[in-house]
Structure 1
Amino acid sequence: MAKSTAETSEEGHPYAFNVSGPRNLSFPNWKEIIRSSWNDCNYKRTVIACFIQVVYLLELDRQENKTEENGLAPKWWKPFKYKLGHILVDDRDGSIFGAIIEWDRSAALSNFIVMRPSGAPRAVLALRGTLLKSPSMRRDLEDDLRFLAWESLKGSVRFNVALEALKSAVNKFGSCNVCVAGHSLGAGFALQVGKQLAKQGIFVEAHLFNPPSVSLANSIRNVSEKAVFAWKRIRGMLPSNGEIQLNGEDKNAAESKVCAEIKKWVPNLYVNNSDYICCYYTDPAGTAEIAASSVDSSEKMKTKSQGHIPTNLFVMSKGPQKFLEAHGLEQWWSDDMELQEAIHDSKLITRQLKSLYTLPPPSQGNKK
């Protein structure tokens, strides 16, 4: 049967899966029962990046009044035997900023895949970044400015929606079967909702592509070391600092216990040094040691300083150098890319996650 003009046009669209999607990628088949591609970190990175692309395209499809039948987005989840479970909508403008992508058992069975491959998540919460296109641009830029000013997205409507969606997925599938992922601004949201659950002892796998690292708050803090020191002293005097005031060995023992538990959550960060939005995660001040990704993982963990928050930081060693391409999502499924894993005591990620190491305030019942 001849294809319609609309179908031909969709296949030639610059965002069509067959045009800009990954190449030389094997899709799930019955052999996955024996050996799962999901155990390959490169395959996992590629597919999860494609799921984030789904969210960008869901919003573009919405703006162009396209459905699942004629939209671009479905082509980016169906080859991997997943389905659209739930979309996250900003009620203020109706824009789609996230989605839950779920394992599609029916589609898998049609290819004689009788069980979910090892390492494949049951669900992925994917969060997009900024779209410089109306009508979603205004709300996207508001959150960009929010992070720029405060290095936090908790005041955003989208933060609460994303957090509830992640909690719901965890309740339905279990934390070990759920991933949270985001690109750019979406990576900022993914980091903070993942961190929020980690505070509650719930650890979900996190994949953060081009996470934002630039903020006015950070710049101001770096103006003067003396000002930082003075602020810490003032903050320590405030009654609402949210920390249990312990002394000596009791404080050290309590903090060590909290740190040991929280270190179970190790987010994966993917950065390109030519992208000035995320490049500060590899700031030399963080004393990074670049090592080949083939190094044994147990040896990597031995080299990490006990006092820093562990992260898997992957740095693009061969890839786009112009800003727009270096900040883009497409690079993360490119065939000719090369990554190095940085064993990195990043001061930036340590500062962003340090509240995980803060003991919770005492309950009202324990107060005297």
Structure 2
Amino acid sequence: MPSGMEIFTHSGPSHLTTVDWKNPHHRRTVAASLVEGAYKIERDRQQNLQGHEALAPPWWEFFHFQVSHVLVDDVDHSIFGVIYESKFPTSYFKHSELKAPRYVMAFRGTLTQPDTRSRDLRLDFRCISNRLHESSRFQLAMQSIQNMVSLAGAENVWLAGHSLGSAIALQAGKSMTKMGFALETYLFNPPFISAPTERIKEERVKHGIHMASSVVKAGLSHVVKSRNNRNTTKEEDPFVVLASWSPYLFLNPADHICSGYIGYFEHRKKMEEIGAGKIERLALKNSIESIFSGALGKESEPFNFLPSAIVTINQTPAPDFRRAHGVEQWWNPNFHYRSMVFHFSN
């Protein structure tokens, strides 16, 4: 027998019987539910649950979506992503005030079941080493996203992901933006690859570490670029291009996997307030790894680099890490949150 957490009517957002697509909370709930559907469809496959026994379909059917295509990893043959298609007629999307997607491409995170654990953990390590984009899973995701945008248009396609899946969606969203297609993107608990400074309780110490890091990175970047005599224009600067894309980030301070983004954005705000915005903008474009790659004549964009973002922070205390990291928190209608909006200015 499946647990209550597996059944949509017990643990899903069944309260949302009517979706107002202009309401960002409704859009967040739908995106999180479709990501959960990507988890559930792989669990159904592993447990050989089909027909009326399958637990996944309610997670998308409740919101009038259907599965158009599933993305299958070429190594462990697991389903890691789902392309959903809206059941609403084409005429429904002709109203310019609607924000409803025709297609949503949703990517699950790491599963600890034996069938998927090994491959997912290897990809987690690729994420840490900034090599996720080299994996066949990411390449398949990118190919599918490009095909879907070519078919339906960028304005009709959403990206969504949780944990490892949000890392895929993040990297894909950056790549599509550089191609001229800024897709609406929902990133739930995206991994932040850096030293765990958010665990430091003393705010002055933490801010001092961030400040020192920014100054060092800005200084090294200036030296390396001067030595290489690089004179890129605004049109050539990929960071200026990325500023046009503002993904939605959903973070929990008790989740050490994603909480680094909170300090990342709060530090940017403090640097602007004390008049050190120029230093921070230069540091923002670089990690220590990317600076030294530049010194060797290689380009290496920082994994965490996000010029612009709409950030939601869940401030409801989490009883444990699983709850802090879980995607189910994002369809809870009663959680307490605060928001931050950032736009990179060159």
**Could you state the TM-score of these two structures normalised by the residue count of structure 1?**
0.72
SS in 2 for 1:25: coil
* Separation in structure 1 between the aligned mates of residue 110 and residue 196 of structure 2, nearest angstrom: 21
* Separation in structure 2 between the aligned mates of residue 230 and residue 262 of structure 1, nearest angstrom: 23
Give the alignment partner of residue 172 of structure 2, picking from 172, 193, 196. Answer: 193
Q: Is the 8 A contact 2:194 2:260 kept in 1?
A: no
**Which consecutive segments of 4 or more residues in structure 1 shift more than 6 A?**
216-219, 221-225
Which stretches in structure 2 are left out of the alignment for 5+ residues?
A: 199-209, 271-276, 285-306
Question: Match for residue 43 of structure 1?
Answer: 26
- How large is the RMSD of aligned CA atoms in angstroms? 3.5
Q: Is the 8 A contact 1:287 1:344 kept in 2?
A: no
Report the residue type matching 2:119 in the other structure. Answer: R
SS in 1 for 2:315: strand
Report the residue type matching 1:52 in the other structure. Answer: V
* Separation in structure 2 between the aligned mates of residue 177 and residue 334 of structure 1, nearest angstrom: 26
Give the alignment partner of residue 127 of structure 2, picking from 142, 147, 151. Answer: 147
CA deviation string 1:116-145 (max 9, x = no partner):
582110001100000011111111000111
* Separation in structure 1 between the aligned mates of residue 214 and residue 240 of structure 2, nearest angstrom: 32
Aligned-pair identity in percent equals 32
Question: Match for residue 296 of structure 1?
Answer: none
Q: Does 1:340 align with 2:338?
A: yes
Report the residue type matching 1:245 in the other structure. Answer: R
User: CA, structure 1 residues 72+261, in 2 after alignment: closer, same or farther (shift >3 Å)?
Assistant: same
* Separation in structure 1 between the aligned mates of residue 221 and residue 268 of structure 2, nearest angstrom: 28
Q: Does 1:278 align with 2:258?
A: yes
User: CA, structure 1 residues 232+253, in 2 after alignment: closer, same or farther (shift >3 Å)?
Assistant: closer
Question: Match for residue 20 of structure 1?
Answer: 11
**Could you state the TM-score of these two structures normalised by the residue count of structure 2?**
0.76
Q: How does 1:111-260 map to 2 (within 5 A)?
A: 115-116=92-93, 118-148=98-128, 150-215=129-194, 229=219, 233=223, 245-246=230-231, 251=232, 254=235
Which stretches in structure 1 are left out of the alignment for 5+ residues?
A: 1-8, 29-36, 239-243, 291-303, 358-368
The CA deviation at 1:24 is: 2.2
The CA deviation at 1:74 is: 0.4
Give the alignment partner of residue 71 of structure 1, picking from 35, 51, 54. Answer: 54
SS in 2 for 1:101: strand
SS in 2 for 1:274: coil
The CA deviation at 1:320 is: 2.1
SS in 2 for 1:287: helix
SS in 2 for 1:22: coil
SS in 1 for 2:115: coil
How many pairs does the alignment contain? 300
Name which one, 1 or 2, has greater alpha-carbon Rg.
1
The CA deviation at 1:236 is: 6.7
SS in 2 for 1:51: helix
